[in-house]
Amino acid sequence: MGVLNNKVELHNVVLSPEEKLWRAVMATAIFDALHTPKKTKKGKYKVFTELSDVNEAREWFRTREGSFETVCEALNLNSDTVHKKMNTKIRQKQFIERIEKI
């Protein structure tokens, strides 16, 4: 990994600061949408995901409102594919959450 003109190079892929930001936005949305709200321990840090964060992320993928299209476009992702795949994953996660309550 090297730094080149304010860009990070990973495995022959050069990411600008903006690309890194958009990746972080999408990664956070995916994490929140597929996460069960509770306190978890990740390494030496504690991660808190609120139910409202989970619901907002799931709604963002479901409705494609706000910055959804912009984020997908910035990442060169097909927004239809992201929408379909994430909604499938979210439904699977919700099914597991319902089973765990039994």
Decide if 40 contacts 26 (C-beta within 8 A): no
Q: What is the rounded distance in angstroms from the CA atom of residue 60 to the CA atom of residue 69?
A: 10
Determine, yes or no, domain membership for 13.
Answer: no
Domain of residue 31: give its range: 18-101
The 3 state secondary structure assigned to 26-75 is HHHHHHHHCCCCCEEEECCEEEECCHHHHHHHHHHHHHCCCCHHHHHHHC
pTM for the structure as a whole: 0.75
Kindly state the helix (H) or strand (E) to which residue 23 belongs, with its residue range: helix 17-33
- pLDDT tens figures, 68-102: 999 999 999 999 999 999 999 999 999 998 998 88
Determine, yes or no, domain membership for 11.
Answer: no
Number of domains in the chain: 1
Determine, yes or no, domain membership for 8.
Answer: no
- pLDDT tens figures, 38-73: 655 556 655 667 888 899 999 999 999 989 999 999
Q: What is the rounded distance in angstroms from the CA atom of residue 74 to the CA atom of residue 71?
A: 5
